[in-house]
Amino acid sequence: MNAYPKLPEFDYIKPQSYKEASQFLISHAGEARLFIGGTDLFVQMRDRVYKPKYLVDVKGLDGMDEITFLPSQGLTIGAGVNMNRVIADAHIKQHYPILAEAAESVASYQLRTRASIVGNICNASPAGDTIGACLLLEGVLIIFGEDGEREETLSTFFLGPGKTTLRAGDVVAAIRFPIPPDGMKGRYIKLGRNQLSDLSIVGVTVLGYPEGESDSGYHFELALASVAPIPLVVKQVGEILGREPITDDTLQEAARAAMDVCTPIDDVRGSAKYRKLMVRNLSYNALKDVWGQLTGESR
């Protein structure tokens, strides 16, 4: 192992506009990579997973550093906003606390000074801690590409580990979230090899809110990290907990459904079998926790 590893050689490019960034990335497709915080990219460059000829620093482009919340429209988080700002933001704390909770589970404070929500998403790791919350909150990416600005919903964004629908020349400027339903509660439970800061072996995000139209009177959603090639939303959980009164039995049934649909692999952090069982147990814990919050019972 190199005791003093260096980054491979590259040219540093700092574009002044989205158009300039996009055009550079298109004309140097395959040899240029964009970065925001670099917390994943630089490590992979050290390990020579990537050896880009050009690194394109898109931080500082218009609006990238802003968090805006409008009660009529919702929340927009610029791609360059770091996770510590997301955790500390008063609007996010009040209206989207699950986002802050998930972000707080990422690595360490000093890493979160550089890490961003959009970076976490675009990195497309199945273990991405904030992705489940962004999926369940119906996040939409604002992307500048070859043909100008477009929006892309997160639910169809992920294709595989590290693979997304982004094309050469695409620069994600921000993520936008609609106003969440009234009374929404959430919980993110992460199992790592240690209590704080590690990558997840299993991550479970649960949201729940009162919904008059369902037979149970509530709607639940659940997303899983680290147990499939992409961040996984378990639709069955919403169906099971929507169609009949919520009891300990139905919560357990929903947790078993989460276990049944996930497809984990064996790796250095845990075996597939262990992950399956943990998905069931932690899904039950998270669902029960959110149910407790919704019904006003203490956790």
Partner 1 sequence: MSFHHISLIINGEQELADISANMTLLDLLRETLVFTGTKNGCAAGECGPCTVLLNGEPVNSCLVLAIECQGQEITTVEGLAQDKRLDPIQDAIMEAGGVQCGFCTPGILIASKALLDRNPDPSVSEIKAALVGNLCRCTGYLRIIDAVQQAART
Site residues for partner 1 per CB under 8 A: 4-12, 37-39, 42-43, 46, 55, 57, 59, 84, 107-111, 113-114, 196-197
Beta strands in 22-139 (DSSP E): 32-35, 54-57, 67-70, 74-78
Residue 199's CB is within 10 A of a number of other CB atoms, namely: 18
Q: Which residues pair with 67 in a beta bridge?
A: 77
Residue 16 dihedral angles phi and psi, to the nearest 5°:
-100, -10
Cα–Cα distance measured from residue 132 to residue 2, given in angstroms and rounded to the nearest whole number? 36
Cα–Cα distance measured from residue 107 to residue 103, given in angstroms and rounded to the nearest whole number? 9
At closest approach, how far in Å is the CB of 219 from partner 1?
A: 32
| Cβ proximity to partner 1, 97 vs 210, nearer residue | 97
| Cβ proximity to partner 1, 17 vs 108, nearer residue | 108
| Cβ proximity to partner 1, 73 vs 113, nearer residue | 113
> Per-residue DSSP letters for 155-177?
GGTEEETTEES--TT-EEEEEEE
At closest approach, how far in Å is the CB of 287 from partner 1?
A: 26
Of 68, 209, 77, which is closest to residue 130 (Cα–Cα)?
A: 77
| Cβ proximity to partner 1, 182 vs 268, nearer residue | 268
At closest approach, how far in Å is the CB of 174 from partner 1?
A: 21
At closest approach, how far in Å is the CB of 197 from partner 1?
A: 4
Cα–Cα distance measured from residue 141 to residue 151, given in angstroms and rounded to the nearest whole number? 6
Cα–Cα distance measured from residue 189 to residue 136, given in angstroms and rounded to the nearest whole number? 15
| Cβ proximity to partner 1, 109 vs 215, nearer residue | 109
| Cβ proximity to partner 1, 59 vs 275, nearer residue | 59
Question: Is 18 within 8 Å of 145 (Cβ atoms)?
Answer: no
At closest approach, how far in Å is the CB of 274 from partner 1?
A: 23
At closest approach, how far in Å is the CB of 196 from partner 1?
A: 4
